[in-house]
Amino acid sequence: MNIATLKENQYYIIEIDGEVDASSCILLDKAISEAMMNNETKLLVNCVRLTYISSAGLGVFMSYLQDFEAKGIKMILFGVSEKVKSVFAILGLDILIQLEKTKEDALASMQ
């Protein structure tokens, strides 16, 4: 799994490529933690190339939800495949974490 981060206008984008499992979720955690340390308030997570997410990977997102709310940080995941989206839905996380089909949809929702 690879994680890339970039700043695009006022958005901090985390791009995930591959599988997020127990061993690789550390990289995801680091990317989100860095965004928070840099006081980023608009996070977009590009999941177009995310092929699998384990409970450990989901746990990384969940562990930040209260901090996001307290600090006024908005996070949207986009490009999530139906397979991965079903994992979020089964656990009810699609209610807690905003999922959008495209980057354009995510940007529109971020406004």
Fold (topology level) of 2-104: Transcription Regulator spoIIAA (3.30.750)
DSSP track, the chain: -EEEEEEETTEEEEEEEEEE-TTTHHHHHHHHHHHHHTT--EEEEEEEEEEEE-HHHHHHHHHHHHHHHHHT-EEEEES--HHHHHHHHHTTHHHHSEEESSHHHHHHHH-
Q: How much is the pTM? A: 0.95
Domain locations along the chain: 2-104
**What is the reported pLDDT for 111?**
84
Give tens-digit pLDDT for 8-64: 999 999 999 999 999 999 999 999 999 999 999 999 999 999 999 999 999 999 999
